[in-house]
Amino acid sequence: MTQEATGAAEAVAEIEVLAKEGKSYPPPDEFKAQALVTDDSMYRAAEEDFEGFWLDQAKELVEWFKEPTKSLEWDPPHCTWFADGELNISYNCLDKHVEAGRGDKVAYHFVPEPIEEEPRAITFAELKDEVCRFANGLKELGVKKGDRVGIYMGMVPELPIAMLACSRIGAPHVVVFGGFSAESLGERMNSTGASVMITQDEARRKGGLIPLKHIADQAVEQHAPSIEKMVVVRRTGGDVPMKDGRDLWWHDLVEGKSTEFEPERMNAEDVLYLLHTSGTTAKPKAAQHTTGGYLAYVAFTHKYVFDIHDDDVWWCAADVGWVTGHSYIVYGPLNNGTTGVLYEGDPTYPDVDRHWAIIEQYKVTQYYTAPTLIRAFIKSGPEPVQRHDLSSLKLLGTVGEPINPEAWLWYWRYVGGERCPVVDTWWQTETGGILISALPGVTTLKPGSATMPLPGVKPAILDEKGKEVPQAQGGFLVLKKPWPGIFRTLWDDDERYVSNYFSKYGPDTYFVGDGARQDDDGYYWLLGRIDDVMNVSGHRLSTIELESALVAHEAVAEAAAAAAPDDLTGQTPLCFVILKSGYEPSDELAKELREWVGEQIGKIARPKAVIFGADLPKTRSGKIMRRLLKDIAEGKELGDTTTLRDPDIVEELKERADELLGRSGASA
């Protein structure tokens, strides 16, 4: 064993001992002494006057062109918030701070992936100028209020600039994560009717290049005829073909443009953006977020969950392409005038300590990441962390999936130096912002629990029939009351909004899709998805998306997918495939299918293994028994197989799966 590996193993052993103690962690005195909230007054205020509480927050945290007098108006399953208010989000994120004399404050420390490239500090004033210039450029291209604008980029400053320019005009943006395939991108552009799309020549990733423009070209040519103009940021200088009449360079478009652009007066309920997420059907759906309620909610949760002070340096290490980046890299922090880090690249490039080096260099005070990354850090041991002075850190956060107590404790001890509260924040693309989380100056933490609902948030845990389950028993998580950040519907598909989220328990109960339980102290423990949605490195992926991708391959007759547990990514897709006649199972074909899925959906969807079988486990009526595929994927003892048409099939699949995943028999 190398020295580093020993360190890692020792740390894990220590942490296991700690986890067994099952201790809880009240706010450290030093933290509490400076915290924004240290008592239950906010919880009480929301309890006593729910609507008044949110209206006060909205007025305090957001600057309105016309202040709202209305708070929640609820006509289940639909709601509006602050509906008579008028505002502009980019005004709140930029002008508000410049006008208050804070234009010189840094909005983003942009850290390029190549270590030899100069980082860049961008002030609020500079950001405002760039946003206005680009908004003028978009206007020249004909973009106006209500038009959808597609964005497919890496983590470069032009990404938030483009989003803010859209919000200045009132044009909803549709950001697609830069890891998605041409097909996924094209589908998302087409279904939202975007006519302008913004991309970059290439993105940097782990020392390599991702050909974003090339993928965007394919997306437009094969799937999204609605795109008329493509604006391209020159990031790497790579040679990319530009199509005459359709493509233009960002730098040419903004050349000579004014740094003034009158922000559009938006109604609180006007659409701010659409963002796709996986559900239980093959087609991803686009959550529709609005202007006033969303901004108030992300501002509130950013400020109080992360205990943000004026001189803090905030780092949300997500990608802007996901909701976490929308809410906590762009809108929440900028509205709150917070200095943030925007890092372009991979956490392990050029070395596993890259994040710690950045925290040390910029004296980051709050760091927010996903459990999957923490588990990766644990593998390389505490040494890379200990190379750096992380004493600037005051608070740590996690999001995206349940965090196991061991990962929580490791993070708390080795990254936070036993001094920083770790807030485990539970939320979804649909919820717009955090719903269940500690308030770090108030809540006693329990490793592995997202703790309690935030003020004004009303979860419950129900059984199949809609009755609240007794404490300590698991059930379906629901939300009994709207909050300002809730999505208002699914783009162009209100029917699906109702059937997906508000049909199981009726129109006034939002069905989350996660299992949860409450312990004796009332703490919430999230148990993962209860539907056919898996969570790979904190990213949602539905089994049906995978299956549709597979059956689109010429060799595949039938396919089914299930989630296998994975040390690093939480879950990983496992695919069962029946080949068409004329095709033979082989390692090459398995590899080809894995790559195929990666190309169809995006790399995160690439299955860990493809298992060929003569058939899928089906009932006599031909229904696939997903429960058995789940047992196989999870390495469990097989459940009841007596109703199967051919019980041998499932035994064969199981053997093959255990072999491919390196499991010995039924233990896992």
For ligand WTA, the binding residues (CB under 6 A) are: 277, 322-324, 399-402, 424-429, 450, 513-514, 526, 528-529, 535, 540
Q: At what angle do helices 182-192 and 587-600 cross, to 10 degrees?
A: 30
Residue with tokens 């099952």: 22
Within 8 A by CB and 6+ apart from 81, the residues are 54, 58, 71, 72, 73, 268, 269, 290, 292, 293, 296, 482, 484
Least distance to ligand WTA from the beta carbon of 15, Å? Answer: 19
Contact (Cβ atoms closer than 8 angstroms) between residue 30 and residue 52: no
Q: Which amino acid is at 109?
A: H
Least distance to ligand WTA from the beta carbon of 214, Å? Answer: 27
Closest CA to 95 of 67, 65, 68: 65
Residue with tokens 């000579």: 256
Residue nearer to ligand WTA on the CB measure, 129 or 401: 401
Q: At what angle do helices 587-600 and 543-551 cross, to 10 degrees?
A: 120
Least distance to ligand WTA from the beta carbon of 632, Å? Answer: 22
Residue nearer to ligand WTA on the CB measure, 169 or 512: 512
User: In whole angstroms, how far apart are CA 242 and each of 204, 248, 391, 584?
Assistant: 20, 7, 48, 42
Residue nearer to ligand WTA on the CB measure, 214 or 504: 504
Least distance to ligand WTA from the beta carbon of 515, Å? Answer: 9
Least distance to ligand WTA from the beta carbon of 438, Å? Answer: 11
Residue nearer to ligand WTA on the CB measure, 429 or 600: 429
Residue nearer to ligand WTA on the CB measure, 182 or 526: 526
Least distance to ligand WTA from the beta carbon of 347, Å? Answer: 18
Residue nearer to ligand WTA on the CB measure, 238 or 528: 528
Residue nearer to ligand WTA on the CB measure, 132 or 435: 435
Least distance to ligand WTA from the beta carbon of 255, Å? Answer: 38
Radius of gyration of the chain (CA): 25
Least distance to ligand WTA from the beta carbon of 511, Å? Answer: 11
Residue nearer to ligand WTA on the CB measure, 123 or 277: 277
Q: Give the number of other Cβ atoms within 10 Å of residue 588's Cβ.
A: 8
d(CA 491, CA 173): 12
Contact (Cβ atoms closer than 8 angstroms) between residue 344 and residue 204: yes
Within 8 A by CB and 6+ apart from 327, the residues are 298, 301, 302, 432, 433, 485
CA atoms within 13 A on the CB side of 122: 22
Residue nearer to ligand WTA on the CB measure, 289 or 540: 540
End-to-end CA separation in angstroms for the chain: 25
Least distance to ligand WTA from the beta carbon of 275, Å? Answer: 9
